Copies of this chain bind each other. A is one copy, B any other.
């Protein structure tokens, strides 16, 4: 069987060919040194689609068959989240590198076990926090690292639209996971506690609206983060405000040409304790700059990064630990949400 795959190419199998699978096939196929060896799905009609559009890719409904093929270097798991752990653990046991769609697993315990197993076997465990690989988020990271913003004061994200109501996970696990992954990458700081609130409008269904506040131990200056997610909004909003002591950013992912706006605005606080409070705070406003961004597709960058890490042993930016950190926050947030905002320490 292996013979049909080109020599020297990195072979990956895509597990699950639903909404996201075609994007994985397209992007991994688009890499020079990589080919998609298999698409595996239990639904024959989905495999028929693969056969039609990608006749050179082998299809199978038998996951064990994929794992038994020694020419397969890695699997990319794009199945319902409840199956992530079992599928990934089997793949690691079979010596495959693993790419998993977000969220990594359904519990932090599962995530820890995967991390441990990957470490022991010296395999790459990668979680697809796609937004981390967008030109916009990478540019914001650059601006933060260059200290353009000064100290970060807050991170505030709104991610709302109409649908798609999920049956197995709440809006926190479906949408807020994006913001937590971006924050994990940009801030490089672990929150110390979380308070979350939310509501389910559909009986016997997970929450479709949620609000999440993250607290951090850093005191000088203090930092706060907030995420607002909603599946039941009449309009689509994808907007993040990042406040800093020097400058502030508005990141609007729906703006076709000016996703990032860097505002030279802020407050100036006089240290003079004698003066009136009102006179202690001054406002500063300057130019706004919308930096030119590359047009690279995030998933292409992520796929190339993953393959590179598999080949060199380098740790990916979004490794299992990044996935775990996000899961821990989601677990705490879910508990807080069920207790109407009661703060949960992390």
* Partner-B contacts on A (CB < 8 A): 55, 153-154, 156, 158, 160, 162-163, 165-167, 193, 195, 197-205, 209, 211, 213, 215, 221-224, 226, 228, 230, 232-236, 241, 243, 248-250, 257-258, 261, 263-267, 269, 273, 276-278, 280-281, 283, 285-292, 336, 339-343
Contact = CB atoms under 8 A, between A and B. Distances in A.
Nearest to A55: B55
26 contacts: A154-B232, A156-B230, A158-B158, A160-B241, A162-B265, A162-B283, A162-B285, A163-B283, A167-B276, A193-B340, A195-B195, A197-B213, A197-B224, A205-B277, A205-B281, A209-B224, A232-B266, A233-B248, A234-B243, A234-B248, A235-B250, A235-B263, A287-B289, A290-B290, A336-B341, A342-B342
Contacts of A249: 234
Contacts of A264: 292
Contacts of A342: 195, 341-343
A152 to B, nearest CB: 11
Given A234-B265, A340-B343, 10 more contacts: A156-B209, A160-B241, A162-B265, A165-B267, A195-B342, A197-B213, A197-B341, A202-B269, A234-B241, A235-B257
A269 to B, nearest CB: 5
A112 to B, nearest CB: 27
Sort A-B residue pairs by CB-CB distance and give the 8 closest, nearest first: A195-B341, A167-B277, A234-B248, A234-B263, A197-B213, A340-B343, A341-B341, A288-B290
A277 B243 CA distance: 40
A278 B19 CA distance: 14
A280 to B, nearest CB: 7
Contact of A203 (B200, B269, B289): B269
Of A55, A158, A197, A213, most B-chain CB atoms within 10 Å = A197
A211 B226 contact: yes
